[in-house]
Each structure stands twice: as C-alpha cells, then as structure tokens.
Chains A and B, each alone.
Chain A
C-alpha cells in the first residue's frame, strides 16, 4: 500500500486523546508504526498506527454495509476509514450514531474514548441519494491511531454487509491487516489463500479478491475435490492496483463441480492479495475462514 496516500488525514485532536505526549513512544512491541500527530492545541503528539483492508463493501441497491469498531479498555483510538474502488477513492454517503442525515465523503475520520463503540453505516454513492438504488462495491482501508502499543495490538474492527430484509444475509468481513501486529492481528496480505466450501445446486461459493500488489494482476483460481484432485482452474479478470473484484466461483469455473466439499485456492504467484470467501446455502449465508496458502518451502 502507498502509505502516505492511504492513511489520509489524521483524526480530530479535539476530543478523545488517541496520542501520547511522549515523543519517544515505543510502538515496537505491537510491531506498529510510530507517527507524529500535530495537535489542534499546538504541539505534537505521537501515536502508534496499525492498518488493514476490508476486502469488500456493498452499499445501495438493497445492500447495506456497517463498519464497527470499539476502543479497548486500555485507551482511546483514532480511526480513519477510506473508501476505494478500482484504484480510486470513492465518495459514499454515511451515517453514524443516531444521525439520520448522511455525510458524504471518501474518508470518515473520528476518535473514540476507551470502551466507546462506533458504527458507521454506508448507504451508497453520494450521486444516487436519496434512494441509493445503485449498488456500490469496493473496499475499505482502515487506519487506527493509538496512544500506546497495547491498545493498537488488541483492535479487532469488523465490517458487516447485509441484503436483509430481501434475503436473510448478514455477512461478516474480517479486517486483513497490513502486517502481523499481534496474535489477533495476523498479516492479511499474501500471495495465496484458500477456503473450503460447497458449490452445487443449492450451495454457492463467492469471494472477493483485493489486489494488494503494485501492478494490475490476474489471480489463478484452483478447485480441488474431496480427494484432493484438481477439478477446475480459471483466472480472474485483471484487477487494478488497489482494486477489488467480487465473483461467484461459478462465474469462473464453468464446468460442473463435484458434489461435496471443495478446496478453493486463490494464487497470485508473485502478486499479493487480500481475500474474503462466502458460502451461500439456500437462503442462508455465512463467511468462510480463509487460510494462508504458502508455496512449498516458504514461510509466513
């Protein structure tokens, strides 16, 4: 990620104190960056910084997305959510708290006190208000600022996107961290990923691939049957840098797949990605656990 571009503006410094006054703040125990924060009151604070990607958002056209985060008991946090599509920032209408009047922008920035939860609701493209009849998709890049390493090391934000009440689909998208910050924040940018699912007459597998490499890239999709035999292979369309694409497995693998459990691998070769998988089972749907898929001989 082009850090300077993606981190965007800093959260407001007039409320919750997500920075330290210690200019030598040590963020290394959480493997986080330490950055300077110019304060509205004058002077300079220092924050630890962790960042990651929600690989999919869907807002408008009966889809809704909400992003939830809470400051840990150990400290306040600053939060930036940036909205991206095909390598560009996109402007979305959002609401938060009990607010019903949408705000428009390609970045939402705020600060939370210790134990304070937040929910940002994405309604759709600003241009499609107030009905939001068009579905916008893309990804969210999230940046968190903390007054100490331990606070950053415990953050676990969440994106939920839903098609309710049309269908009872409420799908969780975990954040995919830019680096391994702590036990609960494993690195979410790797060359290969896999998940186990079923794709038959009543079950569908879908996935989102966010290209985290420095050039546009295609990704190979391989499907293995319950014997571990390769039964299907295809390639995604070219995905631009900082672009994400959502696909049904059957969009790519046109040949019938065997009944039963399948392993689906997303292989970028030398190109890294962040991936989310979903399983649809009739009217129900859930997120799938996505595992790193390492080439032989390589390590995490």
Chain B
C-alpha cells in the first residue's frame, strides 16, 4: 500500500518512479467525465484526470494493491497474470520491492517475449478482453541461470476508463518451482488491510507444514504475534516475528516476511487442525498462508479476525462495497469534480 503518510513528503518523486501506462495506444481513459466513487475514494461524480498528448483531458478510475510475496531465481519463477474485463481497457503498472520495501530490479518478460528486460517497474495497456502475463526470472545480472533467489513484494496499479472495469479487474500472482510447486497469491487491495488475520491448517512436523507471509501495512517497523489454537479452541502456542520494515520513505512500500510456522512458534504442535492467528495489535498487515502436504502445496484462505483480548470486530470496516484504493493514492493527480 502507498500510504498517505508519504503524500506530502515525496509526491513528486513518486511520480517519477512509477510512470503511468502509455497514452499512445489503447485508450484506458474516458474522454468524458466519469464517476469513480464506487471503487475509489474520490468524491461522488468525480474521477482522476490525465493530460493527453493531444492536449485533451482524459478521465480515469484507479485501483491498487499488493501481492505480498514473490519468488524469482534459484528454480522459482513468478508469473503476474491479468486480463482486461469486457467492460473496458486497462492500464497496468507493476513495481517490484525486496523484503525490506526497497525497489528491486528484476529480469522480466511480457507477453512471451524471449529477451528479458530489466527494471523495477513494468507498465503496459490491455485492450478489452486482452490477457497478459509478466514473468519474473530473477535478479538483474543473474541471467541466464538466475541461481540466486529473490523474494519480496509487488505493488500493482490499474487504470480504467470506467468504474465497472476497475471493480472487476482481478490480477493474480503465481509463483512456481517446477515440476511440483505452483502457488497462487491473491492481490490485497488497498483499503482492505487489517490488524488481525487467521487461517486454519495442519502442521504436524512431518508431511503437513504451514508457512506464512506477513506484509507490514504500518507506517513503522512492527513485530507480529502469531498464536496457534488447537481443535478445541485452546491456545497452545505463541511466537513473534522479527521486526518487519514499515513504509519506506523512499519507495512508499513496506517490508514483507515469510517463514515456516514452526520457525515462529517453537512449541510442538498437535497433529490435528489448527487455527493460526496473526496479530499486529494496532498495526495493519496483509497475510498469506500456505499448506504443504508432502509435495503438494496449496494457498489457504485467510480470514479477517479480531484480537484475542476480546475486542469486537468493527462491522463498519467490513463494508460490502469496498474501495480498492487507499484514501488518497500518491502516484496520481488529485481527483476532479464534474
């Protein structure tokens, strides 16, 4: 997530770091004013604007989110997939960060291109119904074998000519280590970060292992508490993560941390089903959990939870029409009102 915290500090710098998608091809904007308030945190009846090469004004909606984990090199390849909905074209911008929230240069290909390009950012435009896959191979300079593993996160931004398109576009990250590992990472839309997350899984120290990724969505470095509950609901293990970096004042992106559950909660765990709760206290995060079962690994559904101290969940935070953007994105101009 790009935090408001940085808006005043580095707004101009950010614009230089991450270019908007090109405006010389497929039209990802509207030539007439549009209402993006159903998907973005803009006033009703308004949208963002862009000055087009022709001198005219384009109007667009914007959504953004984070894939909390990528793995590229040392046998891993990460694929970023997205398709433009039937309702409109989409401008896409992916930027890459290491586990500390620093920009990370990676070798990538787009649309099956055979020669990797290097950089910390990929942007392109998709026509209606057009799919795209961006493959991440590893660090710049590690070609062609990419023997070093690079991990981190991906920040994804989407630009649309109407609200429906931004409401329905749904990208996906898949990281794989052929021949047996292929794991799906869902996007965490901005605005849906939260303080406690949980999932249920099995970690018996043998064939079944759980692992988790925590992307810090706080302004400061934070330590997260991980609690494990057994099949009766009794807490039987607790551990803490190392400090995970908060939003970088340079990139606006935060740190991410991935590990086996058993490296965080050292207690011997029973063989049955477990609930694993990631508790950030007052710090927001995005969490991914994986279940290993021998050679087979699957992504677990991670649910929104509340603190074990008994604090009730605010249903206002569970609005049914979530915005897919922070209250004010920092990479784009201010919204205009019709």
Where the two chains meet, the residues of A that have a C-beta atom closer than 8 Å to any C-beta of B are 29-31, 68-74, 97-98, 112-119, 148-151, 153-158, 160, 162-165, 167-172, 174-175, 180-184, 192, 194-198, 224, 226-228, 230, 259-263, 265, 279, 281-296, 298-300
- Asked if B235 and A115 sit within 8 Å, CB to CB, the answer is yes
- Asked if A116 and B320 sit within 8 Å, CB to CB, the answer is no
Q: Shortest CB–CB separation between residue B323 and chain A, in angstroms?
A: 9
Q: Shortest CB–CB separation between residue A177 and chain B, in angstroms?
A: 10
Cross-chain contact of A73 among B170, B307, B317 (Cβ < 8 A): B307
Judge if B241 is at the interface, Cβ distance under 8 Å.
no
- Asked if A196 and B84 sit within 8 Å, CB to CB, the answer is no
Q: Give the chain A neighbours of B202 by CB distance below 8 A.
A: 119
- Asked if B164 and A184 sit within 8 Å, CB to CB, the answer is no
Contacting residues of chain B (174-197) with chain A, CB-CB under 8 angstroms: 174, 176, 178-184, 186-187, 192, 196
Q: Give the chain A neighbours of B22 by CB distance below 8 A.
A: none
Q: Shortest CB–CB separation between residue B301 and chain A, in angstroms?
A: 4
Chain B 305-321, CB-CB to A under 8 Å as 1, else 0, gives 11110101111111111
- Asked if B131 and A262 sit within 8 Å, CB to CB, the answer is yes
Q: Give the chain A neighbours of B82 by CB distance below 8 A.
A: 196
- Asked if A184 and B304 sit within 8 Å, CB to CB, the answer is yes
Judge if B246 is at the interface, Cβ distance under 8 Å.
no
- Asked if B303 and A228 sit within 8 Å, CB to CB, the answer is no
Given A115-B229, A288-B184, check contact A228 B126 (CB 8 Å): yes
Q: Give the chain B neighbours of A299 by CB distance below 8 A.
A: 38, 164, 167
Q: Give the chain B neighbours of A115 by CB distance below 8 A.
A: 229, 233, 235, 275, 277, 308
Given A70-B198, A170-B296; 8 other pairs, CB 8 A cutoff: A73-B198, A116-B232, A117-B230, A117-B273, A119-B272, A284-B178, A286-B183, A295-B86
Cα–Cα, bound, A27→B222 (Å): 35
- Asked if B320 and A181 sit within 8 Å, CB to CB, the answer is yes
Q: Which residue, B130, B181, B275, has most C-beta atoms of chain A within 10 A?
A: B275
- Asked if B318 and A183 sit within 8 Å, CB to CB, the answer is yes
- Asked if B301 and A174 sit within 8 Å, CB to CB, the answer is yes
Cross-chain contact of B131 among A31, A113, A226 (Cβ < 8 A): A226
Closest to A116 in B: B233
Judge if B300 is at the interface, Cβ distance under 8 Å.
yes
Cα–Cα, bound, A283→B164 (Å): 37
Q: List 13 A-B contacts (CB under 8 A).
A: A30-B315, A73-B306, A115-B277, A150-B313, A156-B199, A170-B296, A224-B131, A283-B179, A284-B179, A287-B299, A293-B86, A296-B86, A300-B168
Judge if B172 is at the interface, Cβ distance under 8 Å.
yes
Q: Shortest CB–CB separation between residue B295 and chain A, in angstroms?
A: 4
Q: Give the chain B neighbours of A73 by CB distance below 8 A.
A: 196, 198, 277, 305-308, 310
Contacting residues of chain B (242-287) with chain A, CB-CB under 8 angstroms: 271-275, 277
Contacting residues of chain B (109-147) with chain A, CB-CB under 8 angstroms: 111-112, 126-133
Given A180-B320, A228-B130, check contact A156 B304 (CB 8 Å): yes
Contacting residues of chain B (223-238) with chain A, CB-CB under 8 angstroms: 229-233, 235
- Asked if A290 and B273 sit within 8 Å, CB to CB, the answer is no
- Asked if A224 and B233 sit within 8 Å, CB to CB, the answer is no
Cα–Cα, bound, A151→B321 (Å): 18
Given A168-B295, A291-B85, check contact A261 B231 (CB 8 Å): no
Cross-chain contact of A228 among B84, B176, B310, B322 (Cβ < 8 A): B84
- Asked if A293 and B85 sit within 8 Å, CB to CB, the answer is yes
- Asked if B111 and A153 sit within 8 Å, CB to CB, the answer is no
Q: Shortest CB–CB separation between residue A273 and chain B, in angstroms?
A: 16
- Asked if A168 and B171 sit within 8 Å, CB to CB, the answer is no
Q: Give the chain B neighbours of A181 by CB distance below 8 A.
A: 320
